[in-house]
């Protein structure tokens, strides 16, 4: 182990560096909200924490501490200390924390010290770090942004992946943002989503970009709520519109919502169960928009979907999926996005294909430029929104 490092309340540096984090809260606390990459190695399990909490209410802190030492002793204590010290040796630049950076993390520090390992804790704990990230999200209301728009399947996510200044909200939400957008792994909790977005914002801004780029999103991505200040800023920011030929959009939708989604479910659940879950996911997506499609159109598209799934199950052929995808894009998604585009027309500052849009945004967001380098015309477009 290197020389002993001091406890820290420099949350910005901790998040920017990606320092390894050892969370010693109980599992139930960790499940409610955590930071990306943090490892839960609790001082007490959920049952022990519950008992200690009751004792604290009934008899005070001293009695609660005594009960805690009674519950966590012998082999239980030795196993937990071993897990903590193993983590510290594997991650010498990391930190530990509990909820408020108080008694629990101090106990863990002391027991680790007795085992011959000194490891710093984060002053203020999870609560202070979470508050810092909420403040980061609130500050996003002042961040210069470009909003990337385009029709369904136009490849907005692909453009974001090519831009160092981009924040991929759908990636953080693990959802593609439409009725068919749910992923095999499911969505993170709201707090986990917010924490991930805040840390991403912090890192992109620290890189010195003149502006950041986000995809044009609705208020919710699946069941995750886009942070309020960021969403409000998106409604008044310049829009860049990605134009992509219809056939390319069909192929991209096939890649993402058929080939990609099926592969995700099969990897997670195995060939048979995975394909069944994937097929049900597509059916659920079609059902979710049934009222907006209307009974007759929903029936026809559902028939096309079922025929395509049957063919895919039989011999792996996915070409029949192009039928319902094409019809859905042309008759449902495109009219809806055309309406949204008209509403944003006064804020659109550039239109182009993937390479043109990517180059334009790279020029406007490149690292190292001051915030004021966003062109005045673009800022005016944002105000006009």
Region 318-328 average pLDDT: 97
The whole-number pLDDT of residue 103 equals 86
Query: Chain-centre distance of CA 35, in angstroms?
Result: 11
Determine which one of 24, 43, 67, 98 is catalytic. 98
Same domain, 155 and 258: yes
Same domain, 125 and 147: no
Same domain, 148 and 102: no
- In this prediction, residue 233 has a pLDDT band, given cuts at 50, 70 and 90, of very high
Q: Which of 133, 154, 171 is the last residue of a domain?
A: 133
The whole-number pLDDT of residue 385 equals 32
Query: Chain-centre distance of CA 145, in angstroms?
Result: 19
Adjacent-strand bridge partners of 21: 95
- What are the backbone dihedrals phi and psi of residue 136, each rounded to the nearest 5 degrees, phi first? -65, -40
Is 3 a member of any domain?
A: no
The whole-number pLDDT of residue 367 equals 56
Looking at every residue in the chain, the average pLDDT score rounds to 90
Is 138 a member of any domain?
A: no
The whole-number pLDDT of residue 347 equals 95
Same domain, 330 and 362: yes
Same domain, 185 and 258: yes
Is 21 a member of any domain?
A: yes
Half-sphere exposure for 79 (CA within 13 Å, toward CB): 9
Q: CATH number of the domain at 56, please.
A: 3.40.250.10
Same domain, 221 and 317: yes
Please give the structure tokens belonging to residue 372: 């004021």
Is 301 a member of any domain?
A: yes
Residue 373 clears pLDDT 50, i.e. is over it: no
Q: Which of 133, 157, 182 is the last residue of a domain?
A: 133
Distances (CA, A) of 153 to 264, 287, 318: 19, 20, 17
The whole-number pLDDT of residue 376 equals 37
Same domain, 116 and 187: no
Catalytic residue check, 262: no
Q: Which of 133, 167, 192 is the last residue of a domain?
A: 133
Report which of residues 215 and 63 the model is more confident about: 215
The whole-number pLDDT of residue 49 equals 80
Tens of pLDDT, residues 302-311: 999 999 999 9
Same domain, 254 and 312: yes
Instruction: Give me the number of domains the chain comprises.
Output: 2
Q: What DSSP designation does 269 have?
A: H
Tens of pLDDT, residues 27-65: 999 999 999 999 999 999 888 888 877 877 777 777 777
Q: Domain of 104?
A: 11-133
Rounded Cα distance between 296 and 317, Å, is 27
Distances (CA, A) of 360 to 95, 162, 213, 341, 355: 41, 12, 12, 20, 8
- In this prediction, residue 314 has a pLDDT band, given cuts at 50, 70 and 90, of very high
pTM above 0.85, yes or no: yes
Please give the structure tokens belonging to residue 37: 């990459």
Residue 372 clears pLDDT 50, i.e. is over it: no
- In this prediction, residue 3 has a pLDDT band, given cuts at 50, 70 and 90, of low
Region 324-337 average pLDDT: 93
Is 62 a member of any domain?
A: yes
Same domain, 105 and 38: yes
Tens of pLDDT, residues 85-118: 999 999 999 999 999 988 899 999 999 999 999 9
Region 331-358 average pLDDT: 91
Same domain, 125 and 162: no
Give the percent of the chain with pLDDT over 70. Answer: 94
Q: What DSSP designation does 372 have?
A: G
Is 331 a member of any domain?
A: yes
- Size (the chain), residues: 385
Same domain, 35 and 83: yes
């Amino acid at each position: 182990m290197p020389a002993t490092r001091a406890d820290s309340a420099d949350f910005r540096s901790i998040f920017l560096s990606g320092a390894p984090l050892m969370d010693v809260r109980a599992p139930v606390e960790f499940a409610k909200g955590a930071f990306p990459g943090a490892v839960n190695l609790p001082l007490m399990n959920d049952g022990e924490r519950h008992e200690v909490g009751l004792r604290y209410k009934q008899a005070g802190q001293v009695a609660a501490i005594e009960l805690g030492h009674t519950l966590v002793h012998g082999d239980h204590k030795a196993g937990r200390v071993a897990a903590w010290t193993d983590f510290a040796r594997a991650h010498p630049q990391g930190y530990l924390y509990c909820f408020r950076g108080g008694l629990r993390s101090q106990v863990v520090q002391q027991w680790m010290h007795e085992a011959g390992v000194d490891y710093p804790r984060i002053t203020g704990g999870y609560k202070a770090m979470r508050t810092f990230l909420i403040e980061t999200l609130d500050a996003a209301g002042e961040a210069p942004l470009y909003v990337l728009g385009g029709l369904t399947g136009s490849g907005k996510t692909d453009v974001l992946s090519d831009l160092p200044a981009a924040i991929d909200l759908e990636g953080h939400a693990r959802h593609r943002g439409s009725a068919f957008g749910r992923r095999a792994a499911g969505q993170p909790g709201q707090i986990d989503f917010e924490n991930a977005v805040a840390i991403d914002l912090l890192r992109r801004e620290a890189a010195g970009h003149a502006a950041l780029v986000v995809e044009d999103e609705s208020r919710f991505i699946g069941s995750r709520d886009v942070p309020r200040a960021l969403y409000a800023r998106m409604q008044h920011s310049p829009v860049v519109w990605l134009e992509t030929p219809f056939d390319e959009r069909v192929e991209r939708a096939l890649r993402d919502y058929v080939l990609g989604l099926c592969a995700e479910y099969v990897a997670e659940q195995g060939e048979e169960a995975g394909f069944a879950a994937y097929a049900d996911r597509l059916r659920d997506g079609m059902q979710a928009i049934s009222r907006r499609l209307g009974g007759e159109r929903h029936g026809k598209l559902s028939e096309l979907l079922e025929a395509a799934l049957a063919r895919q199950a039989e011999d792996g052929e996915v070409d029949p999926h192009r039928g319902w995808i094409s019809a859905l894009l042309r008759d449902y998604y495109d009219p809806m996005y055309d309406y949204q585009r008209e509403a944003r027309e006064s804020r659109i500052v550039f239109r182009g294909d993937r390479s043109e849009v990517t180059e334009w945004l790279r020029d406007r967001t490149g690292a190292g430029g001051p915030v004021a380098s966003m062109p005045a015309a673009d800022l005016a477009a944002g105000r006009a929104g």
